[in-house]
Amino acid sequence: MTDDVLSVRAAELYYEESKTQDEIGTLLGLTRWKVGRLLSRARELGIVRIEIVHPRARRLPLERELRERFGLRDAIVVPTPNDGTGLTQRVAEAAADYLRALRPVPRSLGVSWGRTLDDIAIHLPDGWARGVDVVQINGGVSLNRRAGSAATTAVAIARSGGGEATLLPSPAILERRETRLAIEADRTIAGVLELAAAASVYLFSAGPADGTSVLVDSGYLSHGDVEELVRRGAVGDVVGRYIDANGNIVDPELDDRTVGISLDQLRAAGLSIAVVAGPAKHDVARAVVGSSLCTVLVTDEDTARAVLDTNSPASRQFNRQKREAS
Amino acid sequence: MTDDVLSVRAAELYYEESKTQDEIGTLLGLTRWKVGRLLSRARELGIVRIEIVHPRARRLPLERELRERFGLRDAIVVPTPNDGTGLTQRVAEAAADYLRALRPVPRSLGVSWGRTLDDIAIHLPDGWARGVDVVQINGGVSLNRRAGSAATTAVAIARSGGGEATLLPSPAILERRETRLAIEADRTIAGVLELAAAASVYLFSAGPADGTSVLVDSGYLSHGDVEELVRRGAVGDVVGRYIDANGNIVDPELDDRTVGISLDQLRAAGLSIAVVAGPAKHDVARAVVGSSLCTVLVTDEDTARAVLDTNSPASRQFNRQKREAS
DNA sequence: CGGTTCGCTGCTCATGTGAGCATTGCGGCC
DNA sequence: GGCCGCAATGCTCACATGAGCAGCGAACCG
């Protein structure tokens, strides 16, 4: 009888029949230490597979690897559902959980807006915290089709967190640089931006560099604009600013017309939580984490693996080209 | 935080991060006993799923249930491969293992013949036992196309088991009852049958009641014959004798022309090992076990479940009718 | 042929863990 | 409002388990 088969027998008796290692030893004619060793071996070799099946499960080994490899303060990885349904909900739920358990409770929370942030807001129960003031960190109120979504997100988070919401009453992207300078000079806007810059915690998502982006959906950019950005290396946007795989601004001119805190301000933050999930966002996720735009990442398992998979930078190229082709 | 989610967190920290229950307690703000309880709960609820993945794995809980429900002396259940490939090999291997580990070592072993027995013979290594004499328990030498397969099986087992083989030099089924009586009266044959009746252990398989049976393959029966048997309730054959779902002889006239030990002799045996696996044999397996034709069953997981599934006797009907229809 | 090294075995001991029991807290019921 | 019953909690204690170590044997090399 080979050691392998013995491992299997021991594992069966231990895990399925709940026998003690000593009993198994007698049964198989081995010492209980040998049995213990066989069991360890069985787990190492993957003969015994322990799986945690639950929508709220997490992937701690991946989280640890992300923390270590990228010096993240924290990482939250939820399992990717087999058929992909409900992925955004699960990630949003995890983000809400994280925010809720965050200590010390943030005094002021800077938030971006978008579908992901909406979902997070929904999953934050009333009274999840007390006295959390929320401030919008990038523009985008007026043009959004689903009226006021950007505003309602921030307001909802502030309300359930027992604080005040401060909105940034400005478009996300203006047509001329001068307009941006002008609007930022306005006392109201300037005040909000100051507040945003002083937030103790940032919570934001990232959009993919394709037609499904909220910036396209909201009318700030055309499909053609996005295609051009992709051609120039864009992998996605963070607080309305398009970045390439290295986390650099793709189009300085466009960036100069974008209202909100800068990427460097985000990088300088003590605690910035990025919530990025889904197959379309693998590339942005990699860029965000790789260029230190966040200190905490909330994501799904597949995206986490994609981020960690530095061995295949080719895949990035491949994905980009595929998207260009379509 | 609900108890469910706590269970998940605890399970992750325990099984994936190998933390102690005490550490987890501190981490989640619970006592270590609470953590222990959460972990038990998690396993009961199936949140934690422990699986043993190995071709040689067994299904001990099913084995236990089979033993208890049917008063079997033993049951060996191997996992059914997802795509069904190699199933017969695995079961044969398990049967060989069982035979090899059998104590006391049988002095004389009565065997039937067929594809399954062939496979078992292949998996018995040289010297698996010493002094095991083998005797054929049902006829079938001459007509088999793959020349002498019935004979070689018995001889191979005897050789590797360090004993003598005694063959039953007779067809499995004769054309007339009188011929059977005559051949059984022959001293050679009678002697073998006596030996067969006195065997300390029987090892046999069962065939499905369809065209793929070895009895058809070997030319003893025509497709038409089998169809007729099925119409009369046959679910398969054991040592050449067709039985219905209750383990009764379907066609007494046919049975009367069949050479070999009787089913009652099999039932009276101290130790009789049936090796029956595969989707086509679910019904025979149920009949064999249900009518105490064996004291030990070696099979695959799916067949075991089918045997245990007494809640749906309808499925038997359904399967039979489906087969009749085709 | 002897010495050395390496890997496996069985052991001691400290630690981790589960069964069983007393205690607490909560909700229903008079 | 007070009492009862039940479930959840925290605890004691005995047992199960893994880490670390000494002993042994085999293989390898000089």
pLDDT (tens digit per residue) in A170-214? 888 888 899 999 999 898 889 999 999 999 999 999 999 988 887
Average pLDDT of the segment spanning A86-110: 91
pLDDT band (50, 70, 90) for residue B276: very high
- Taking CA atoms, A102 is separated from A105, A116, B12, in Å, by 6, 19, 20
Q: Is the CB of B44 under 7 A from strand C?
A: no
As given in the structure block, the two tokens for residue A221 are 């950019």
Answer whether residue A312 shows pLDDT above 60.
no
Check pLDDT > 80 for residue A41.
Answer: yes
- Nucleotide nearest A20, from its CA to each C1': D16
User: How is domain B60-325 classified at the CATH fold level?
Assistant: Rossmann fold (3.40.50)
State the pLDDT confidence band at B142, using cuts at 50, 70 and 90: low
> What is the distance in angstroms measured between the alpha-carbon CA of B53 and the sugar C1' of C24?
45
**Residue A44, pLDDT score:** 87
Predicted local confidence at residue B146, as pLDDT: 55
pLDDT at B262: 93
- Chain A residues within 8 A of B13 when measuring between CB atoms: 60
Q: Pick out the nucleotide with least CA–C1' distance to A31.
A: C10
- CB distance A52–B57 less than 8 Å? no
Partners of residue A234 on adjacent β-strands: A244
Chain A hits for B4, CB-CB cut-off 8 Å, are: 54, 56
Residue B148 pLDDT class (50, 70, 90 cuts): low
Q: Tell which of A16, A24, A103, A301 to mutate to test the B interface (max B CBs under 10 Å).
A: A16
A37 CB neighbours strand C below 7 A: yes
Which protein residues have a C-beta closer than 7 A to any atom of strand D? A 14, 20-22, 32-33, 36, 39-40; B 30-31, 33-34, 37
Q: Is A82 exposed, middle or buried (0-12, 13-18, 19+ CB in 10 A)?
A: exposed
- CA dihedral sign of residues A224, A225, A226, A228: positive
Residue A288, pLDDT above cutoff 90: yes
Interface residues on B facing A, Cβ-Cβ cutoff 8 A = 4-5, 7-9, 11-13, 15-17, 42, 46-54, 56-58, 60-61, 64
CA dihedral A159, A164, A169, A171 (to 10 degrees): -50
pLDDT tens for B60-106 read: 999 999 999 999 999 999 999 988 788 999 999 999 999 998 889 99
Query: Is the bond leading into A313 cis (omega within 30 degrees of zero)?
Result: no
Please check whether strand C approaches the CB of B26 to within 7 Å.
no
Q: Which chain B residue has its CA at the smallest distance from A49's CA? A: B51
- What is the C-alpha to C-alpha distance for residues B269 and A95, in angstroms, rounded to an integer? 66
Task: For domain A3-44, say whether CATH 1.10.20 is its number.
Answer: no
Query: Measured in whole angstroms, how far is the alpha carbon of residue A246 from the centre of its chain?
Result: 17
pLDDT given for residue A173 in this prediction: 87
The Å distance, CA of A2 to C1' of C2, is 34
Contact B45/B7 with Cβ under 8 angstroms? yes
Does residue B93 or residue A146 have the better pLDDT?
B93
**Interface probe, candidates B24, B53, B58, chain A, greatest A C-beta count within 10 A:** B53
Q: Which residues pair with residue B236 across a beta bridge?
A: B208, B243
pLDDT of B313 over the 90 cut: no
Determine the pLDDT at residue B290. Answer: 93
**Chain B environment of A39 (Cβ under 8 Å):** none
Domain locations in chain B?
Answer: 3-44, 60-325
d(CA A153, CA A283): 26
Q: Above 50 in pLDDT, residue A251?
A: yes
Distance, CA of A281 to CA of A274 (rounded, Å) = 12
- Structure confidence at residue A146 (pLDDT): 55
User: For residues A97 and A115, what is the distance between their CA atoms, to the nearest angstrom?
Assistant: 18
Please give the backbone phi and psi of residue A41, each rounded to the nearest 5 degrees, phi first. -55, -45
Measured in angstroms, what separates residue B21's CA from nucleotide C16's C1'? Answer: 8
* Closest CB from B46, B53, B64 relative to A46: B53
Confidence at residue B94, expressed as pLDDT on a 0 to 100 scale: 94
Q: Which residues of B touch A49 (CB under 8 A)?
A: 50-53
What pLDDT was estimated at residue B140? 75
The proportion of chain A whose per-residue pLDDT surpasses 70, expressed as a percent, equals: 91
Beta-ladder partners of A237: A207, A242
CA atoms of B80 and B58, how far apart (whole Å): 10
Instruction: Select the residue from B3, B4, B50 to test the A interface by mutation, using most A Cβ atoms within 10 A.
Output: B50
Contact B275, B152 (CB under 8 A): no
**Strand C: which positions are within 7 A of a protein CB?**
9-12, 15-20
Mean pLDDT of A150-170: 87
What is the mean predicted confidence (pLDDT) over B240-251? Answer: 92
Q: Is the pLDDT of residue B278 over 80?
A: yes
Query: Would you place residue B143 in the very low, low, confident or very high pLDDT band (cuts 50, 70, 90)?
Result: very low
Beta-carbon separation of B50 and A49 below 8 A: yes
Its pTM stands at: 0.77
- C-alpha distances (whole Å) from A139 to each of A114, A144, A146, A220, A274 are 11, 11, 15, 11, 18
Q: In the predicted model, what is the mean pLDDT of residues B4-15?
A: 91
| Four-CA torsion B281, B261, B201, B55, nearest 10 degrees | -20
| CA dihedral sign of residues A213, A217, A221, A222 | positive
